[in-house]
Amino acid sequence: MGPVAERAYDIVVFGATGFTGALTAEYLAGHAPAGARWALAGRNQGKLEAVRGRLGPEAADLPLLHADVTDPDSLRSVAEATGVVINTVGPYIRYGEPVVAACAAAGTDYVDLTGEPEFVDRMWLAYHSRAAETGARIVHSCGFDSIPYDLGVQFTVEQLPQGEPISVEGFMRADASMSGGTYQTMIETFSRLRSSAKVSRERRQGEVQPEGRHVKGVLGKPRPDEFAGGWAVPFPTIDPVTVLRSARRLDRYGPDFSYSHYAVVGSLPMLVGVGAAAGATFALAQIPPTRDMLLKLMSPGDGPSEEKRARSWFRVRFTARAGDGTSVRTEVSGGDPGYGETSKMLAESALCLAFDDLSGEGGQLTPAVAMGDALRRRLVAAGIKFEVLDGGV
């Protein structure tokens, strides 16, 4: 196994026959730089050929590689042949570990779009040390989970004075539909909260905390917020966890950093309705028969139409204050968050790792730590907006 620069491919898309995997392949077909060496990987040759056929005549010779999560040799071969693996095969708690293991062993960079906290923690416990040894950069949550928040907070912090305590609030609002794969992952995550909490504790016990700095998450309370554009509700997803991990690693976040994360709904009645639906879904996901019933409602591979995706959008607003009284308000915004923009974020993350001049540090890293400004520049060029609305230094 030679150096990464001498491998056959720069990037391999694993799971290219799935809904998001196919969108990611389409994005690379239109935006990979001239001379980029990339390939599609999956277990079904016929489906891979169909995806390649939709990419246009320029992709007629795009290599197709066999890879199956139940076949470690196939994953090892793919990992050893490329510099970066894009993994779109979820739910990751079921199917993701063999891919991470192969990349960590081969010194191959890895990106995915997981929003599953338990999976990320399990991969840190099992493979962070090995990846650090081989130089593999394992970067989870490179889609709508958690790029807008992780890079958005980093962008916001950079508008404030250095060396000051900083507090940030983030408000997410979106109009979009989910795919079958995302729905399956949500039900799976709801059913594993107890297991997830246990693994999270194990990780916290093993992680080294920053010396001389304090980083904390603040849950907050539901409230109407004019700047957010509706009712702000605490939203304890993987996104604030990712932000706080970046803050612990990067001194630029100041000696004392706090972050609160909210979803935004338009009105109080809507908030009540969404809360009731979420509570009922969570309760049903705890019981195997009703969980199986929920899982049958949407199948992996299903997703919103191109017309629906074209009408979808997201907006994340941040308000921040430094210890000297300086304040700033910023916004990250774009189109269809779950699929159009997620496939863009995922592909640009892989291109960033493959071609940009970044830190050589390996291990499990957040997007802000692994790529930071380099990835943000790519996303701005690709049409995602990072804007200062007012304030700052």
- Cβ neighbors of 183 (< 8 A, separation 6 or more) are 297, 298
Determine the pLDDT at residue 359.
80
Do 62 and 117 reside in the same domain of the chain? yes
What mean pLDDT comes out for the span 51-77? 96
> Which two structure tokens, joined as six digits, stand for 195?
């297991």
Q: Does 374 have pLDDT greater than 80?
A: yes
Quote the number of domains for the chain.
Answer: 2
Do 159 and 290 reside in the same domain of the chain? yes
Distance CA 18, CA 25 (A): 10
Domain limits for position 315: 147-336+385-391
Tens of pLDDT, residue by residue over 193-250, are 788 889 999 999 999 889 899 999 999 899 999 999 999 999 888 999 999 999 999 9
Distances (CA, A) of 208 to 204, 244, 245, 248, 249: 8, 14, 11, 9, 10
Tens of pLDDT, residue by residue over 308-362, are 777 889 999 999 999 999 999 999 999 988 778 999 999 999 999 999 999 879 9
What mean pLDDT comes out for the span 144-166? 97
Would you call 293 helix, strand, or coil by DSSP? Answer: helix
Would you call 197 helix, strand, or coil by DSSP? Answer: helix
Determine the pLDDT at residue 338.
75
pLDDT higher for 119 or 289?
Answer: 119
Would you call 258 helix, strand, or coil by DSSP? Answer: strand
Long-range pairs for 189-193 at CB < 8 Å and ≥24 separation? 189/91, 189/93, 189/115, 189/116, 189/117, 189/118, 190/281, 190/282, 190/285, 190/286, 191/285, 191/286, 191/291, 192/93, 192/118
Do 121 and 266 reside in the same domain of the chain? no
Q: The CATH number of the domain where 190 resides is what?
A: 3.30.360
Q: Determine if the pTM surpasses 0.85.
A: yes
Mean residue pLDDT across the chain = 90
Determine the pLDDT at residue 339.
79
Do 201 and 298 reside in the same domain of the chain? yes
Tens of pLDDT, residue by residue over 233-245, are 998 889 999 999 9
Do 225 and 134 reside in the same domain of the chain? no
| Banded model confidence at residue 175, pLDDT cuts 50, 70, 90 | confident
- Tell whether 379 is covered by a domain: no
Which run of H or of E encompasses 83?
Answer: strand 82-87
Determine the pLDDT at residue 295.
61
Q: Taking each helix axis as running N to C, give the angle between helix 19-31 and helix 45-54, from 0 to 180 degrees, rounded to the nearest 10.
A: 40
- Tell whether 108 is covered by a domain: yes
What mean pLDDT comes out for the span 134-148? 96
